[in-house]
Amino acid sequence: MIFGKIEYLNLLPFHIFMKRYLRSSQQKAIMQHKEDVPAKINRRFVRRDVDAAFISSITATKSKHVPLGIIAKKEVLSVLAIPSRKTKSDKESASSNVLAKILGIKGEVLIGDKALRYALQNSDYIDLAHEWHKRYKLPFVFALLCYNKDAKRYKKISKTFLKNKQKIPQYLLQKAAKKRGVSPKDVEEYLKLISYELTPKAKQGLKRFYKEAKKLKA
């Protein structure tokens, strides 16, 4: 079982859960990881080099997925546009670049941990998820947990993850914060902005995103 792992902070609770879930050494041996940024994991998934991964929603339109995703309720702080900079897409991204175009927002797109650090240190940015919510009053779904095979396995993983509140041990919280150059408190506050359950409201947001993305191609 090869899982495409994205090392962004927004997936920290899921990665911690998976370590607990795969209790036996045999299970851990079965689960192999291929780490990379979202755009590259997307390509690996399409080529079937990985069996499952959190795939950018714009890439996941025809993929099988469980009701689990990376979802911004309102603001997100890790998907930004910097209007003072030349308009430029983030090469690590897929959905966020399309989102900026849908919203008609110019500037450099930043995603992930580098965007969070920027937001914590500066104020000259536009939070794209917040702008989306202001316009459509819907959450924004950045990615979905998709699979190429083993549907039963990933449905069970999804159900178990959503059923149990994920607590992050202090030592892991501090480790994650140090790695990204932010404080443990910043990590805790940031993760409060993220939701993982693909609720009916989130599904509406995803449907709206696909509709607006389709208009860009027309």
Q: Is residue 206 part of a domain?
A: no
Domain that holds residue 49: 2-197
Q: Is residue 111 part of a domain?
A: yes
pLDDT band at 169 (very low <50, low <70, confident <90, very high): very high
How confident is the model at residue 25, as a pLDDT? 45
Mean pLDDT across 15-43: 75
Q: Is residue 208 part of a domain?
A: no
Q: Is residue 211 part of a domain?
A: no
pTM, two decimals, is 0.92
Percent of the chain with pLDDT over 70: 94
Query: In the beta sheet, which residues pair with residue 3?
Result: 33, 52
Q: Is residue 203 part of a domain?
A: no
Mean pLDDT across 25-45: 73
Helix axes of 184-191 and 170-180: crossing angle, nearest 10 degrees: 100
Q: Is residue 32 part of a domain?
A: yes
Tally of domains in the chain? 1
Q: Is residue 7 part of a domain?
A: yes
Q: Is 86 exposed, middle or buried (0-12, 13-18, 19+ CB in 10 A)?
A: exposed
Q: Is residue 115 part of a domain?
A: yes
pLDDT band at 146 (very low <50, low <70, confident <90, very high): very high
C-alpha span between 103 and 80 (Å, rounded)? 12
Q: Which residue type is seen at 171? A: Y
What CATH number is associated with residue 52? 3.40.190
